[in-house]
Amino acid sequence: MKIVETPDSAYAHINGWRCEGFKVGLVPTMGALHAGHLSLVERSRSECDYTAVSIFVNPTQFGPHEDFSKYPRTLEDDLRQLSNLDVDLVFAPQNTSLYPDGFSCFVGTPKVAQPLEGIHRHDHFAGVTTIVLKLMNIMPANVAYFGMKDYQQLAVIRRMVEDLNVPIQVAGCPTVRESDGLAMSSRNRYLSPEGRQKALCLSKALNFAADAIASGQTAVSEIEASMQKLLVENGADSIDYARIVDPDWLTDISTITGPVVALIAAHVEKTRLIDNRVIELEN
């Protein structure tokens, strides 16, 4: 497994493989790898000739009062896990090589970035589109793999790639969960054992929404109100949103007539957690 720090070196490797006609997969990460990330790597390994992973805690996607400085940085352990999976290349740059002095150009965000996270994490998606486009330029792979746990992020990236004609295919991969339903997240490691139990309130509320819709409830506001109640009763300290929206555009809907996505962002202890569930109507 090659480990490189400079954009030029990452580009040279990937461009070289592409010129030889090989299919290359890219898995962008912020490190602190868990089974969710590893499932993206495994998917890339199964579909591509070469798999490259980036590890970079991107400062521009964190708000001033968010967890950038305490975000877990576990490079040695990450590299060990990636090497065990036979990853071909890891790009682990320093901050200054991606954001040198004088950096000032940000990628805009599509409409789908506006609701939900867009309301609660102002400028977050401009940081995401900027770093993801940079990584796609530095690592010109055939396919880039992202987890569906960051459902809105995936929608934003898909739109950016389409709108800006970025020559890469975007693959969304299912959320990986612990056996009790908790979605895997690098931020789960902030939780105390008690908080870890409380964090199950997110998957419980999503399952509740799916059951309510399966049993024929169609009034979105009523289901959302019950989700909020369930979140608070089961350990959420505060809720940024618990919404049911259109699965493609994340726009509001009032009555359920087709597939939807339920999305939650809630704080447990001091940790902000997100989760979602796509809900299809049963025939």
Q: What are the beta bridge partners of residue 50?
A: 24
Binding of ligand PAF by 52 (CB under 6 A)? no
Residue 89 in contact with ligand PAF, rule: CB under 6 A: no
In our burial notation (b when 16+ CB lie closer than 10 A, e otherwise), range 82-92 reads: beeeebbbbbb
Which pair of tokens denotes residue 231? 């979140």
Of 10, 26, 30, 212, the residue at the interface with ligand PAF (CB under 6 A) is: 30
140, 132, 137, 128: which is closest to 52 by C-alpha? 140
Instruction: Give CA–CA dist 1/13, Å, rounded.
Output: 12
Residue 90 is a binding residue for ligand PAF (CB under 6 A): no
Q: Which residues are catalytic?
A: 37
CB of 221 to ligand PAF, least distance (A): 30
Stretch that binds ligand PAF, among 28-36, 219-227, 251-259, 266-274 (CB under 6 A): 28-36
- What is the SS3 string spanning 72-137? CCCHHHHHHHHHHCCCCEEECCCHHHHCCCCCCCCCCCCHHHCCCHHHHCCCHHHHHHHHHHHHHH
Q: How far is the CB of 275 from ligand PAF (least distance, A)?
A: 14
Residue closer to ligand PAF (CB basis): 25 or 28: 28
Please report, as residue ranges, which positions from 214 to 273 form the binding site for ligand PAF (by CB under 6 A).
none
Q: Report the nearest approach of ligand PAF to the CB of residue 20 (Å).
A: 27
Q: Say if CB 184 and CB 149 are below 8 A apart.
A: yes
**C-beta separation of 90 from 55 below 8 A:** yes
Does the footprint of ligand PAF cover residue 132 (CB under 6 A)?
yes
Pattern of binders to ligand PAF over 146-175, x per CB under 6 A?
----x--x----------------------
Q: Does 131 bind ligand PAF (CB under 6 A)?
A: yes
What are the residues whose beta carbons fall under 8 Å from the beta carbon of 42, sequence distance 6 or more? 85
Contact between 133 and ligand PAF per CB under 6 A:
no
The nearest distance, CB 60 to ligand PAF, in angstroms, is 9
Q: How many residues bind ligand PAF (CB under 6 A)?
A: 10
Contact 267, 196 (CB under 8 A): no
Q: Which among 71-79, 124-132, 223-231, 263-271 is the span making contact with ligand PAF, rule CB under 6 A?
A: 124-132
Contact call for residues 267 and 237 (beta carbons, < 8 A): yes
Binding residue (CB under 6 A) for ligand PAF from 29, 39, 129, 203: 29
> Of these, 58, 109, 129, 203, which contacts ligand PAF (CB under 6 A)?
58
Structure-token pair, residue 12: 């040279």
Residues found near ligand PAF in the complex (CB under 6 A): 28-30, 58, 61, 128, 131-132, 150, 153
